[in-house]
Structure formats: C-alpha cells, structure tokens
Amino acid sequence: MRQNLTERLLFLRAFVTHPTRVGAILPTSRRAVRDMLDLGDVGAANLVVELGAGTGVYTREILARLSPGAKLMALEIDPQLAKLLGEEFSDPRLQVICDSAENLHRHLSGARADMVVSGLPFTSLESDLRRRILDQMVQALAPGGVALVLQYSPFIVKELRLRFGSVKRIISPVNVPPAFLFACSADRTAAAPDASN
C-alpha cells in the first residue's frame, strides 16, 4: 500500500515536472494493462520491449506473463522513475534503460522484439519526436511481431496506419481517463479484436 502511494506520488511529481512528456496524472489501471496485454501473446515472446515504463504497471504484468527464458527491455526517460524500476524489480529477465525511446535501436544492437508495448503519450509529444519513435517501433519489430499502444484519444490511428498493415483498436473503460488500446502489426491478416475505425 505504502509502495503504491510512493509510486503514485513519484508519478504525479514526474507529471508536474514534465506534463507533456508524462501525459497522465495517474499510472494506467491494472484492468487497462491486462486488456492491453491480452491483445498480444507475451508468453510466446522471446523479447518484449516496453517504452515509457513509468512506475512499472506494465512491467509487472509483462514479467508475470513472460516465459522463463525470455527478456524484457524497459525504456524510461525519467531518471527517478528508471531508478525506481530498477529497485522495484529484481528479475534477471528485466533490463531497465534510462533513455529516450527514439534511441531504441542503440540498445537492441540488431535484435528484434516480438512485442513492443508503449505507454508513451504520443499525442502530447512534439511531432518530430513522435514520428521518430513510431519509426523505431516499426524497425524494432521481428517478423510477425505486434506493437501495443495505449492512448487517451484515438488521434494516433492515422500515424499508426501509415506504418502498420494492420491496426486494431479496443477501448478499455476502466481507466482514468478511458483508454484506447491499439494492436499493430505489419501483417494485414494478424489476429486481434476488430476495430476498424
């Protein structure tokens, strides 16, 4: 409980310091995290990349679903949040990196991810930065891989469709505010809940 409060306060402080970079006053709800990860198959992945890990609400659930030999690379730009993540999870499958998601390729050193999970507030990020990160996500995905994106508005869909052959959308209402969840893949036939608008 105290841990939870500390995490929320750290998150709130990060928001007050960098409102457009954090983009929300509360971490994503557990329900929305589960709804989002249900759009892919974490258990089948060898490498999962998380962008904008914050206080680790996705990190925790991804690790719970990840297979024993797989890896999770979590990028978080805020040094205090990255430090918290490193202290919170002592799982050898997890690598926490304090850097911007636009530099993802440097950390992958040629490896490709089966899943990229983004909690980044794309619509409040500066447009060039947003484009660079979206391009990184496409390049980081292994063939057959899926990118999962949470947003608080549907506006990102156009930019996702420019880059991915398949973009499916659902809404997770149990979140403040309600969350738009996107599952994107290069393959037009990839299976995911339908949401074509």
| Contacts with ligand SAM, residue ranges (CB under 6 A) | 14, 21-24, 27-28, 51-54, 57-58, 75-78, 81, 100-102, 119-121
Q: How many helices (H) and strands (E) does the chain have?
A: 8, 7
Question: Residue type for 114, please?
Answer: D
Provide, rounded to whole angstroms, the least separation between the CB of residue 75 and ligand SAM: 5
Provide, rounded to whole angstroms, the least separation between the CB of residue 196 and ligand SAM: 25
Please tell me what DSSP assigns to residue 64: H
Residue with token string 């304090």: 98
Provide, rounded to whole angstroms, the least separation between the CB of residue 111 and ligand SAM: 18
Q: 21 or 168: whose CB is closer to ligand SAM?
A: 21
The alpha helices in the chain, defined as continuous H runs, are 2-17, 19-22, 30-37, 57-65, 79-88, 104-108, 127-140, 157-163
CB 65 within 8 A of CB 41: no
Q: 96 or 160: whose CB is closer to ligand SAM?
A: 96
Q: 51 or 190: whose CB is closer to ligand SAM?
A: 51
Q: 144 or 173: whose CB is closer to ligand SAM?
A: 173
Provide, rounded to whole angstroms, the least separation between the CB of residue 101 and ligand SAM: 4
Provide, rounded to whole angstroms, the least separation between the CB of residue 162 and ligand SAM: 20
Q: 76 or 114: whose CB is closer to ligand SAM?
A: 76
Distance CA 146, CA 108 (A): 16
In the three-class reduction of DSSP (H, G, I as helix; E, B as strand; rest coil), residue 178 is classed as coil
Q: Which of 193, 177, 160 is nearest to 26 (CA)?
A: 177
Helix axes 79-88, 2-17, angle to 10 degrees: 160
